[in-house]
Structure 1
């Protein structure tokens, strides 16, 4: 028996009442010293002065209408994506649709001078349509959790392209850093009315798609039997989501988590048909956004809090709850038992030999020095030499490349101090310290990623995916909140502290260090998104010149970095790398289950704590130098492992690969754009998104 017919009117009535109450509160609250009684009298037709008319009619009423319209659009678009992909984690912000629309708007501003709501809508539609198409294409191939990670990859690439455009255009960045917070302050009525037809069209298409989506939830074959065409339904949903998300971004900027929140509320309250859930998600989105906007005006009066930050505070816990649900966990493919049995099988195969002793690895060469002997792994040693050569080559190219191009011979002479005075100054005082900083930061990030991947037995378990990087960024920014951009980097030592706090939060929420599967990565993604909103808020708080310099570091940049920060981190790396090598055997034993590890004399809990501490400190030190240079911690261990083979952890190859990647990305950023420098983190974000997608597609487990 369904109870929905009795509960639906009550639920919709309560939501409508809440929306009306918040709308009244929104009109009565805000900037401008106006008593609520004056506002009521004005709304009832009484004449007021120009100040009263400006505050009520020009500021508060359009803002209230914008919150309702944008909230409903994002709520319905999120529910549509969740229904068509059968994924409760689908949401336009998390899957990169909002990032696509934001990129479209930035492209319109930079290349077409877009300033009006209509122009924003046109450019946002193009970006949102492309991103939505990619999301739906991936939705048929990925489980719910993997689709969310694929959305993170898409969002990283799109955000990297956006950052590249912003770094080259400070004027657009000044406009973007406030707009990206999702603020509704100062939204003109004309902009809302301009995008209203697109939103109404999207809502109408959502209503028409309700019945086909209900049939599609039973499977494509059942939907065809019932007279529906799955391909046409998906196209309709694509267009509807594009219209709704693009219009919302054009009005208020990219507001994340709102579709996830609205869809979660609708599915929790109404467990029946999809049609009522879509309608309720629109109401819930409007209520959440309008309530958050009202709270943003009063929580730190006389200033305003970023509305996107408030919604992220609400949405991050919901993301974690949904990710831990049974429906999502069932599709995650968490093969714990299979991995454990596989580990025992590997152990038996490795210990099987003559007389019960373990055979010598086939790629190991015995080297004897008197009474001492050691097995030298040929493949991994060869890979380490090759990667060291690549890192050195990347450094040589970085010395010679740039606007003041030099030959390799001139660079060598300048490095030795025997060349021309200008070239010596350029190489020894500017480029060489920057290269040393890049090599050190890349090595720290590469080794940190190798440790976290091995600890979690998951290639996606890297500091940037687990929220550790953003924790370090926030710590450095908070420590230098009152300092200038030039002295901000003196607080690099706070990076490990922030990374440690983020690691404790992520692993504490997800169930401990030994957690397997993808759920703890989703927890890290929630923390990363929340921390990213806080970083954007801190950037908006600073002045334009300081925010421009700090923004480059928050996306990963080596500009202005040299020996003062590189040498202390290099000293720390010289201590932490041998410590990681000393723990290599214990870490390798953790590949088996806990009973086998304990039988081999290794304490799993103590080893995990030591490895996590090493990884967190390394990530914090690397970020203190160059900021959160994305995907280096993911790509470096994977590339090094491909070269060195699966028998051993690439504890030497991963830092060498990371060093080469960071220096190469920094060099590309210096030379690819004429007259502008693209941060290394932007380069790695653009290239790292496809790499993450390849990692997800190639991971059959």
Structure 2
């Protein structure tokens, strides 16, 4: 008890010290003595009153309220899901609240704190319900990945709404940073009732949550109702997270940090841990806000970026700890190929889908199912190309599109197809093929279907490198710096595999490591966008979510050259790549050097992902879906080294075409379309892994 009181006393002292620092710190030239004199009733001029009453006092109060709300909501989620990785930002609750606020701004012109709160409540409630619906069915690490899927879909919908409204985007690109700067004084009182209600509900939930930690059966035996408890907690989390988002925007990792501090310092009952989580959340956010004001003076760093810098390492530590015990399938690699065999006439055993074609002096083994799947995918890709060049406002039929492709159609159609639409389609084909093959290689390399460049942070590494090079150059053109994409992707891959402790041995843990780095890189990207002018930020934002607008043959050429070299190289190593799906001893016994082969495959996959990012930006989920779909068609006997690139090319072209024609008068970037559709696909992949 004495130790617990000491922890709370130290936390309260730290909070008071940070409150004083927040009131005395700023970018202006107001001396601390002037602020102290004004607060003690000494009076001051108009500038001093404006600095204290309008700027520093509201953001200090906002930091206290938002930090406490997010800290308590994170602890509630961790308790109800029995998952130390649960947090409103990681599980998509903040993304749901953000979608609600954006919908309110666009559809109802919401501007006040109360209006933001109402719309944020609706979005957060939807996301919280979905999280708790799947939370009981997934292990801790998989639940975080399911949250990433939900966040991707909700963020994709948000981006699609913003594409058609530049004015809302101008507001959004600052608000999405999660900043406490410029918060009006009336914003905190407007959301105070929701915060108070959420905290009261959290207090009443402490005893049922303590019983729920023992399991549903024991909770029922103790007189509690698990279903009612989960519903009660979902309402409390919704109120707290929506109120926080309405005031300061979506701030990720804060609930994770607060819960980690609470569990580390207190090992007792749930009630004291909930209280300490609120205290820790307020301390962390207030400290980050004070640091944000002095770190890059006279400018101000985004507070959410600083919280992410602290939270990403904590996410990695918790994911690697014993507290996250592996649930069913968490450490199980992708299923090794076990093709049925048939005995051919006269010679050996052949895989069940292979036929031997013999001549007088030669024989060839033909993989029947894989060849049929490749032919089907090639036909689908060709049809997608025809549909892409025909789709649009010109009213062109597929027959006219084919004639224009051949150069025999009407002059206007030929010009439209060959000079405007076809270059974009070719760029989509090569980018999708590169992503498909890269995903196939990384999945085989890590022996995990979720190990793809976008999930591991490789795509974001390439994006950060290209953005930094483009924005620092005189021209500011991103496409001219495609060559640095593979360098950034390689740096991200090295960081992920170094931190996670190896390749193919950590199950879902190293994917969560990649997710942490991806989230951190995303915060950096949003910060770079906020520091640009509106015109430049709009163009870069479109590319940073994945877009093919304005692409031509010159942009696609480097990726096409890379595919021409790396696809044959991957096919030449097909046998070694298939053997890697077994363990180290089996691979070595079959004559394959696992270390050297993994290094070559890693470099190949990373270069392909980096080149694709240079063309189209980080098109999400294509590298995940393409190998899975191709493997379903080709069967488990061999890796889809041909089918995955074809599937990726078709997916990108189809998604880009859908984005061009879905909205009247606006174009939805291809990466937004794949994010909206890829989230449910990722969730399906997680659930199917659980069933298998």
Within 5 Å, give how 1:389-468 maps onto structure 2. 389-468=379-458
How many Å separate the matches in 2 of 1:114 and 1:104?
11
Pick aligned residue for 2:168 from 157, 161, 172: 172
CA apart distance, 1:418:
3.4
SS in 2 for 1:131: helix
CA apart distance, 1:593:
1.6
CA apart distance, 1:571:
1.1
How many Å separate the matches in 2 of 1:369 and 1:6?
87
Q: Give the corresponding residue for 2:223.
A: 227
Q: Give the corresponding residue for 1:151.
A: 147
Q: Give the corresponding residue for 2:504.
A: 514
CA apart distance, 1:594:
1.1
Deviation string 1:628-667 (CA, Å, 9 cap, x unpaired) is 1110001100111111111010000000000000000000
CA apart distance, 1:130:
0.6
Unaligned runs of 5+ in 1: none
SS in 1 for 2:355: strand
Q: Give the corresponding residue for 2:540.
A: 550
How many Å separate the matches in 1 of 2:279 and 2:328?
31
SS in 1 for 2:477: helix
CA apart distance, 1:82:
0.2
CA apart distance, 1:370:
6.3
Tell me if structure 1 keeps the 8 A contact 2:447–2:504. no
Within 5 Å, give how 1:655-674 maps onto structure 2. 655-674=645-664
How many Å separate the matches in 2 of 1:356 and 1:181?
68
SS in 2 for 1:367: strand
Pick aligned residue for 2:591 from 578, 601, 604: 601
How many Å separate the matches in 2 of 1:465 and 1:334?
16
Change (3 A) 1:402 1:484: farther
Change (3 A) 1:334 1:149: closer
Tell me if structure 2 keeps the 8 A contact 1:146–1:332. no
CA apart distance, 1:327:
2.8
1:565 aligns to 2:555 (yes or no): yes
How many Å separate the matches in 1 of 2:113 and 2:582?
58
Change (3 A) 1:332 1:363: closer
Tell me if structure 1 keeps the 8 A contact 2:142–2:330. no
Deviation string 1:74-116 (CA, Å, 9 cap, x unpaired) is 0000000000000000000000000000000000000000000
SS in 2 for 1:47: coil
Q: Given the two structures, how large is their TM-score scaled by the length of structure 2?
A: 0.97
How many Å separate the matches in 2 of 1:267 and 1:681?
38
Change (3 A) 1:624 1:358: farther
1:107 aligns to 2:103 (yes or no): yes
Tell me if structure 1 keeps the 8 A contact 2:68–2:277. yes
CA apart distance, 1:371:
4.0
Q: Give the corresponding residue for 2:353.
A: 363
How many Å separate the matches in 2 of 1:356 and 1:255?
67
SS in 2 for 1:418: coil
How many Å separate the matches in 1 of 2:545 and 2:413?
30
Q: Give the corresponding residue for 2:297.
A: 301
1:383 aligns to 2:392 (yes or no): no
How many Å separate the matches in 2 of 1:29 and 1:368?
83
Change (3 A) 1:20 1:127: same
How many Å separate the matches in 2 of 1:456 and 1:19?
44
Tell me if structure 2 keeps the 8 A contact 1:485–1:549. no
Aligned residues: 691
Tell me if structure 2 keeps the 8 A contact 1:95–1:151. yes
Q: Which moved more, 1:275-284 or 1:23-32?
A: 23-32
Pick aligned residue for 2:279 from 272, 277, 283: 283
SS in 1 for 2:137: coil
SS in 2 for 1:374: strand
SS in 2 for 1:646: coil
Q: Which moved more, 1:230-239 or 1:62-71?
A: 230-239
SS in 1 for 2:684: helix
CA apart distance, 1:358:
4.5
SS in 2 for 1:32: coil
Change (3 A) 1:13 1:603: same
How many Å separate the matches in 2 of 1:446 and 1:607?
19
Tell me if structure 2 keeps the 8 A contact 1:266–1:284. yes
Q: Give the corresponding residue for 2:627.
A: 637
Within 5 Å, give how 1:485-496 maps onto structure 2. 487-496=477-486
How many Å separate the matches in 2 of 1:407 and 1:64?
61
Deviation string 1:521-546 (CA, Å, 9 cap, x unpaired) is 01000000000000101111111011
Q: Give the corresponding residue for 2:125.
A: 129
Change (3 A) 1:599 1:354: farther
1:55 aligns to 2:56 (yes or no): no
Tell me if structure 2 keeps the 8 A contact 1:334–1:517. yes
How many Å separate the matches in 2 of 1:542 and 1:255?
21
